Structure 1
C-alpha cells in the first residue's frame, strides 16, 4: 500500500505534489490552532470555576429621582422581577434597598427606593442587582453576637442570633461569590420559630481565612469549615441542627450531611436554589455563555484531573462524582426541603427534581416559577416562609405551632 502511494506520487506532476503538501501543511497548522484555542478556552473556563468571584456590575442606573424616591435601571431578567431586592452601588451609598416595580418599558425599569437617598447623593451608573436585601446583621433588629469558628484553615467569622431554648439551631451557608449577608433574609423566620441561627463563613469566601491554593473546591473541602460550625453549635448546647444552604452553600451542606461525624445531630436540610450536581450546572452555564460543549467538557476534565491542577490553579482535583448527590442519593439519611425555581437562570432545577425522584421518602421540593437564582424570598416571601414553617412543624423543629389552615 505504501509502495503504491509512493508510485502514485512519483507519477504525479511536481506542481500537484507541492500543492498537496502545502494543503496538508495548512490543515495541520489550522488543526493545531483550533486545538490550541480549545485548550486556552477550557483552561480559562476551569480557572473561572474555582477562582473566588468578584461582584461585577450587571445593570446601570439610568436616573435617580430623590424627590419621588425612585430609581430607574436598565431592564434585565433580574431588575424586572416583582418583590424587594438590593442594589450594590458606589458613591455616597454602597448598597440600597429596592421596592416594587412602578413602571417599565423595553429597556428600563423604574422601582421604588426603600433606602432614603438624599438630594445631594451621587451614585455611580454601574451597579449590581442583589437578592440579599439585608446587608448588615444590625438591620434585623435582633440580638446577635459575632463569633469565630475554629477550623483547619483558621478562625472563620460567624454571626450568632440566639432564639428559643437554644436546643434547635440552623446553620446557614452562603453561596459562591457572596458572603454571610446573603443568608440574613432567613434569620427572622427562624427566630420567630424559636430556632437559633448561626450564619457562617468558609475558606476563600473573602471573610474566612484563605486556603493554601486560595481557590474553591465546590464543596469538597469547604464542608469541613461548616462541620466545624456544627461542632461549635453542639458545644453551645444545640441538640438538633438544621443546615440551610444557598446555591453552592447547598452543595456544601449536602457534603456535611453525607460526611460529618456529627450526622446524628443533624435534623434536616433546607436548600435554596442549590447545586446538587456540579457537572450539570457547569454545562448549563457554558450553554448560556455560548461556550462550545467541547470546551466545557475539556474544562471539567481538567478540573477533575490531579495532573492539571497546576494549569487550572485548583488546589486539588475536583471530585465531581463525590459531589454528585443525585448519584449518591441512596446515602442520604436526613429529611430535605428544596426550594428552587424552574426559571432560576443560573443553577438549573433539573438536579433538584432528580433528587426528589430518587428519594421521595425524605426529599420535598417546592417549585417556583419566574423567581430567579436565590431570589425566591424576594419574589414571594409569604409563600417561601409558609413552606419552610410547614416543613419545620412537620419535623417537630419549630418551637412555635403553625396555625391550622381553615
Structure 2
C-alpha cells in the first residue's frame, strides 16, 4: 500500500491489487486525511482507473456518487474506479476551501489509484470537482485524460440564483452553519488569501492532455459560456472536446446512467 494510505484499509483477497473492493484514509500533502474507496471493474484485470471528484456537498457515500462508480465499472472493458470525499465532506477531515486546496485531495486519490496497480489514470470531476480536476491536471500532471462535467470556468460567479445562494452558504457565518447541519459540509471560514488559478486559465495549461467538457443546456448554476470558455482555452492544444447535453441539469445528481457511461467510454479511449 502506498505510504499516503493511512489508517483504515481493506482489500479482500485476490493476488492482483485491483481484484477486490477497498477503502482507505489517504494523507494529503498538506496533512489532511481523506476517505477514499476503490471499486474494481466487473471484469477484473483492467489497467485503467477513473478517479471521480464529486461536486460541492457530495461525498463517497452519496447515492449519486455510488451510482456513478457502479455505472462506470459495469461491463466488459470498463475501468476500475476510485471515489473519495473532498476535505470537509463525508468522512474526510478538514474543511472545504471550495476548489482551492482540494487539488491536494485529488492528487492523493490519484496516487492511491496508481499504487493499486493501475497503469493509466484518468479523472472525472463534477461541478466543483470538475474545476478541481482541470486545475489538478494543469498543476500536478500525471493523469492521462480529464472530463469536467458541469464545471465553472471562473471563480466568484453570481449570475444565477443558485450561485447567489451558494455564495451565502460559503461566505456567511449562518450560511456555514446551514452547510454543516443541513448539507453535511464543513466550510473553511477563511477567505482565499491568494486566489487560485481559475479553471479557464488551467485549461489552457493542459497541453496535450485530452479534456472533455460536458455541460447541460438546462444547468441552473452555470450558463453555457462557462463550458465554452473552458473548451476554447484548451482547444488550441488539439485535445479538447465539448458536449452540450440537451435537457441535462447539473452535476452527478442530474447525470443519467447513459451520460455517465458515455463519459466513461470517452475517458478509457482518450489518447
TM-score > 0.5 by shorter chain: yes
Contact map agreement 2:59 2:86 (CA 8 A) in 1: no
> Which of 187, 192, 195 in structure 2 is aligned with 1:319?
195
Is 2:69 the counterpart of 1:187? yes
> Which of 161, 166, 178 in structure 1 is aligned with 2:39?
161
Q: How does 1:2-401 map to 2 (within 5 A)?
A: 144-151=21-28, 152-163=30-41, 164-180=44-60, 181=62, 182-191=64-73, 192=75, 193-210=77-94, 214=95, 216-260=96-140, 263-264=141-142, 266-279=143-156, 282-285=157-160, 313-314=189-190, 316-317=192-193, 319-320=195-196, 322=197, 324-333=198-207, 334-360=209-235, 361-374=238-251, 375-378=253-256, 381-386=257-262, 388-389=264-265, 391-392=266-267, 394-395=269-270
Count, aligned residues: 224
Contact map agreement 1:220 1:255 (CA 8 A) in 2: no
Structure 2 gap ranges (5+): 1-18, 172-187
Question: Which residue number in structure 1 is paired with residue 8 of structure 2?
Answer: none
1:392 and 1:243 mapped to 2: Cα distance?
Answer: 8
1:149 and 1:315 mapped to 2: Cα distance?
Answer: 25
Aligned Cα root-mean-square deviation (Å): 2.9
Shift of 1:376: 4.3
Higher helix share: 1
Structure possessing the higher radius of gyration over alpha carbons: 1
Task: Tell me the TM-score normalised to structure 2 length.
Answer: 0.72
Go from structure 1 to structure 2 and tell me whether the alpha carbon gap of 1:318 and 1:284 turns closer, same or farther (over 3 Å shift).
Answer: farther
Contact map agreement 2:146 2:267 (CA 8 A) in 1: no
Question: Which residue number in structure 2 is paired with residue 60 of structure 1?
Answer: none
Structure 1 gap ranges (5+): 1-141, 300-311, 397-406
Shift of 1:377: 2.6
3-state SS of paired residue (1:284): coil
Task: Tell me which of the two structures has the higher relative contact order, counting C-alpha pairs closer than 8 angstroms and 6 or more residues apart.
Answer: 2
Task: Tell me the TM-score normalised to structure 1 length.
Answer: 0.50
2:239 and 2:49 mapped to 1: Cα distance?
Answer: 20
Go from structure 1 to structure 2 and tell me whether the alpha carbon gap of 1:271 and 1:287 turns closer, same or farther (over 3 Å shift).
Answer: closer
2:26 and 2:227 mapped to 1: Cα distance?
Answer: 30
Shift of 1:201: 1.4
2:269 and 2:88 mapped to 1: Cα distance?
Answer: 36
